[in-house]
Chain A
Amino acid sequence: MRNPEKFRLRRSMLFLNAQKPGLIRDPYVYAPDTIMLDLEDAVAENQKDAARYSLYHALKEIDYHGVERIVRINGLDTPHWREDVRVCVAGGADGIRIPKTESGVDVRAIEEEVRKAEQEFGVEEGKTLLMAALESCMGVINVMEICRSSERLFGIALSGGDYTKDLQTVISGTGIELAGARQNMIIAARAAKVQCFDTVYTDLDNMEGFERETAMIKAMGFDGKSLINPRQISIVHKIFTPTEKEIIFAEKVVREIDEKKKLGIGVFTVDGKMIDIAFYDGAKRCLELAKASGVYRKGAAEC
């Protein structure tokens, strides 16, 4: 079953500790595209149970005003993940983020438990989506297999902290240590037609660095970024939302290609730039992103 929410707009994914009532009661006021309710690293080992009760009632009772609700569960190497999956599905989470994914087998193990939980709790089969976080060299090596592992999988995400530990280096701030993983992941994600999300930026005092990194990953082709602070949301949205100039140009490109195709013309110019069919998909994507971001006005090019 194809879930219509599979490829929704996900520019900003804000992590929140599911065990902290003050954090999960009203994050929609910051208008992220997705909240990432965390049962994993943010929750102390002796509070794993408590976080699940908080999560369940938050999912059931708090109106998040259309913000997507994904839950990061605990890893397959812990005793927690099966009950995490049950509570996510019972609560009606939109999706599950699988941490420390190293292979397609990992994704399918979670998928099987999700399927069982959907049956147990009377949830429509296929409603609960999956995303896989890659946190190791093995995960990055197996990225294509992971991308193709499940019809439920809408995307992959880099988890830079654990990945650089496995790579035996550290986050430098230049991005050099993450370059290989980012490049491999975005290429595989595009080939497999799933979304791709960048790692968190943890230096909250360096907003210029955050903006530079976000612009870089946008240029690389990423769909969005994991965030740890609401202050980061508006910057990501600004960078990922097409400008009016880009929207107008994309509209012209789509219209001109449609018209010139009928006349048998393959190459022409728009606003002094050489255009051919290779520009079509990119222009269409720009317009779809503008629509999804709420900034599209049909016929902007005529204004």
Chain B
Amino acid sequence: MKVEKSAVAGTLESSDAMVTIEPGESGIELELSSVVFHQYGAQIQKLVYDTLHNLGVEDAKISIVDKGALDCTLKARIECAVFRSNGIVDNLPWGGAIR
């Protein structure tokens, strides 16, 4: 899936994360800020790359401000930002690309 335009999902509340995604041209460029970066930074990075891979996103700039979100919340915010960037809201691939 191609990232068509900039999109944002999530909030800066505790247990949440704010994800901003923009079109890119040379792979995935990740900027990550997390309150638990020292403990879980590598795990979060892997989750971001895996989630984008599942969605078929190959080129994008993605910025994440993590406020202690669970993995399930991070995935939800990334997926929401990607589908918003394409304007897709219906007939979503639950259990397919979204997993």
Kindly supply a per-residue 1/0 record for chain B positions 76-99, scoring 1 wherever the CB is within 8 Å of any chain A CB and 0 otherwise: 110110011000011110110010
Cα–Cα distance between A61 and B99 once the two chains are bound (Å): 10
Give the contacting residue for A50; candidates B10, B13, B91; CB below 8 A.
B10
The answer to whether B90 touches A57, judged by C-beta atoms less than 8 angstroms apart, is: no
Kindly supply a per-residue 1/0 record for chain A positions 20-57, scoring 1 wherever the CB is within 8 Å of any chain B CB and 0 otherwise: 11100100000000000000000000000110111011
Give the contacting residue for B76; candidates A54, A82, A83, A121; CB below 8 A.
A54
* Residue B42 interfacial (CB < 8 Å): no
Chain B contacts for A49, CB-based, 8 A: 80, 83-84, 89
Instruction: Please report the number of residue pairs spanning A and B whose Cβ atoms sit closer than 8 angstroms.
Output: 64
Tell me whether chain B's interface is mostly helix, strand or loop, or mixed: mixed
Chain A contacts for B95, CB-based, 8 A: 90, 121
* Residue B33 interfacial (CB < 8 Å): no
Tell me whether chain A's interface is mostly helix, strand or loop, or mixed: helix
The answer to whether A83 touches B72, judged by C-beta atoms less than 8 angstroms apart, is: no
The answer to whether B94 touches A91, judged by C-beta atoms less than 8 angstroms apart, is: yes
Cα–Cα distance between A90 and B96 once the two chains are bound (Å): 10
* Residue B29 interfacial (CB < 8 Å): no
* Size class of the contact patch on chain A: 20 to 34
**A87-B92, A90-B95 known; A53 vs B80 contact (CB < 8 Å):** yes
The answer to whether B76 touches A57, judged by C-beta atoms less than 8 angstroms apart, is: yes
Cα–Cα distance between A25 and B70 once the two chains are bound (Å): 8
The answer to whether B72 touches A62, judged by C-beta atoms less than 8 angstroms apart, is: yes
Kindly supply a per-residue 1/0 record for chain A positions 76-97, scoring 1 wherever the CB is within 8 Å of any chain B CB and 0 otherwise: 0000001100110011000000
* Residue A60 interfacial (CB < 8 Å): yes
Supply 13 further A-B pairs (C-beta < 8 A) apart from A22-B13, A22-B16, A83-B89: A20-B13, A22-B15, A25-B70, A25-B73, A49-B83, A50-B10, A53-B9, A53-B98, A54-B72, A56-B76, A56-B98, A83-B92, A91-B94
Would you give 22 A-B contacts (Cβ < 8 Å), ordered by A? A21-B70, A21-B73, A22-B13, A22-B14, A49-B89, A50-B10, A53-B75, A53-B77, A53-B79, A53-B98, A56-B94, A57-B72, A57-B73, A57-B76, A60-B72, A61-B71, A82-B90, A83-B90, A86-B92, A87-B92, A90-B94, A91-B94
